[in-house]
Structure 1
Amino acid sequence: MARGKVQMRRIENPVHRQVTFCKRRSGLLKKAKELSVLCDAEIGLIIFSSHGKLYELATNGMQGLLEKYMKSARCSVEKQADENNVLESKMEVSMLKNEIDVLQKGLRYMFEGGAGKMSLDELRILENNLEVWMYHIRSAKMDIMAQEIQLLKNKEGILKAANKCLQEQMEMQYGAVTTDQTMANIPYSLTIQNEIYQY
């Protein structure tokens, strides 16, 4: 009597499900042992039942087999990562080559009076690059101007401090407050220095 075709779906009856699990598990373990002996293959098989019970088979020790598997998986992951890096590098190089070609065409177009005709897309790319360059140039210019303003502010602070120091020296030397009358008695060089530091 021939067996009927078994439908691949979960067996609803728990007794039938457990019987089928035991039969198929032992058959699977037997086939794995046979494959290991016949083909000299290293085999590791791990099975967890629906109740969480562990069944395993390892021809040369499970720990060694798992380490070998992890090493192999790590190598394949590294190989895949290297291939991805090479692919990304090639794409980046081709993108940069295209950009360089467009920029060279743009330079010829600008300096040779349109000797090399450019397509609309190439002109758009050139326009975008020019806008980016202008943005970078403007931001660099603003940075330089901000630095110069800060230097001038620092210089102003130093000059104000020196001016204050000179005024204090003059007050100590010629009295509490210098008036126009006492200014006439101050040596000419000191008044000039004071006027310089006021600026």
Structure 2
Amino acid sequence: MSDPKADLVRYLNRARDALLWKLDGLSEYDVRRPMTPTGTNLLGLVKHVASVELGYFGETFGRPFPESLPWLDDGAEPNADMWAAPGESREYIVGLYRRAAEHSAVTIEALPLDAAGRVPWWPAEHAEVTLHRVLVHMVDETARHAGHADIIRELIDGSVGLTKDRANAAPGDAEERETYRARLEAAARAAEQ
């Protein structure tokens, strides 16, 4: 029989790995460059997810992270957690993400799934949570942003895949993918007529 906490941790770790893998082999510029009209970028996604995870598995359960995160302070620039400032290196942000995962692991290991916590930034009527709810929330949050990273990475250099060893995408070379894309474009245009 499966262990629900172990299942959730496995899914969380898989989403974490997918998010970090999207940085592999890219230049400093490419991991930072905004690829959407709203500025979404790979390193910013990692910084954001690290920050969110530290709040949910730290502050929510009375285990604040010992490092200062100035981009979360009152008066910080809006969206400062969504991009890497010039003085914040890739190594720093990836290291922060790994430290966040370690901090979270201690919380997850120490508490049962029904352990009560309080999310201070949620409305009072929803702020009382359990570790189970927070784990589900962070699996969802991390996987959602890993999906954003999938698209951003494809826009940067055409790389696709669920993991380094598993493409999880239509087979074929660039020419076959372009033919496939052209078919989809034609179908979309035909639907408008």
TM-score w.r.t. structure 1 length?
0.21
Q: Which has the higher contact order (CA 8 A, sep 6+)?
A: 2
Which structure has greater helix proportion?
1
TM-score w.r.t. structure 2 length?
0.21
